[in-house]
Structure 1
Amino acid sequence: MLHPASLWIPFMILLPNLIFLKLKPQIVPSEKKKSLILAVVEGIGRFGVIIVPIFFSIQIQNVYEIISLIVMLLSLFMYYFGWVRYFRNNREFKLLFSPLLGVPVPLAIFPILYFLFASVITHSTYLFIFSVIFAIGHIPNSLSDYYRSIKTK
């Protein structure tokens, strides 16, 4: 059974990325060859965290589900805060990866936290697994991009 309301979970993370398609970074370092394995793992995880929620309903009745929702919303807020920092500061490439309040690669970490806690409110082991797979590819790739961006200065 499909649960269209659960599409809000990936949509809220994808929203700033849709704006990003129109407003690309200003100062982009030269392209570095990325790990094919990490890129594939990241792609599989990304596909899963976008598609899987539609198959699970959101349930917020128990204390642990309420706490998970709160952590999701805080993660989403921090994710948006990182995007606002990027858009308000001339769309500098390094701002997509620079630490935010001590959190390294926040635009990678916060969506992963968001999806991990979404797996709690959807009671989806599949979403949890795809979130971990996404993290395994996305965090190292983002760290690599961050180091590349600070070396070009």
Structure 2
Amino acid sequence: MLGHFGFSYVGCIYLLMLFIPNILWTKYKPSGYNEVVSNENKVLLALERIGQVLVTCMVVIFNDYNLKPFSLWNLWLIVSFIFMIMYEINWIRYFNSKHSLKDFYGSFLAIPVPGASLPVAAFMLLGIYGRVIWLIISIIILGIGHIGIQLQHLKECRTGKL
């Protein structure tokens, strides 16, 4: 449950699936985004940043996430990967939109704030699949901060404060 040190190519693939759309997003930020960011809860922001660093490290330094001979336990990895594919599809949806805040924070397949919820769920399931408590703890920290901030932004969009 503690994890075995070694490089995880699965973790690296997940990080690429996470980082590439976010890098592209820097060129297609929604209008009004900078105003929203200035109102972020500082505690949630700290949790998000700490969680980002921890998850990035935990997902590549333990090789427990790499493919194993098939068993029912692999269903955790399969569902996790489905969530990451859904995350990518959500980005495609955003990039094909008008790049508004509502496009960015709007639900996808009835999943609220999918840009935060989907990868958090995917990495949580990856941690369960790998049986690495350090990733599970790290993603909980990240999830509280990242999902919390995005829910705050969504609430501001809905109340018209933007």
TM-score over 0.5 for the pair: yes
Taking the TM superposition and a 5 Å limit, the aligned residue runs for 1:79-94 are: 79-94=87-102
AA aligned opposite 2:95: F
Percent identity reads: 24
Taking the TM superposition and a 5 Å limit, the aligned residue runs for 1:39-78 are: 39-57=45-63, 58-61=66-69, 63-78=71-86
2:35 aligned counterpart, secondary structure: coil
Unaligned ranges ≥5, structure 2: none
- Superposed CA offset, 1:60-102 (max 9, x none): 3353431011111210121112111111012122222111121
1:60 aligned counterpart, secondary structure: coil
- Superposed CA offset, 1:26-81 (max 9, x none): 35473352211111011111111111112111243353431011111210121112
Which residue does the alignment assign to 1:97? 105
Which residue does the alignment assign to 1:142? 150
Which residue does the alignment assign to 2:135? 127
Cα separation, 2, equivalents of 1:22 and 1:34: 21
Cα separation, 1, equivalents of 2:138 and 2:128: 13
Unaligned ranges ≥5, structure 1: none
Q: Is 1:109 paired with 2:113?
A: no
Pair 24,2 (structure 1): closer, same or farther in 2 beyond 3 Å: same
Query: What TM-score comes out, normalization by structure 1 length?
Result: 0.88
Q: CA RMSD in A?
A: 1.9
2:78 aligned counterpart, secondary structure: helix
Moved over 4 A (4+): none
Give 1:137 deviation, angstroms. 0.9
Q: How many residues align?
A: 153
Q: Is 1:3 paired with 2:7?
A: yes
Which residue does the alignment assign to 1:12? 17
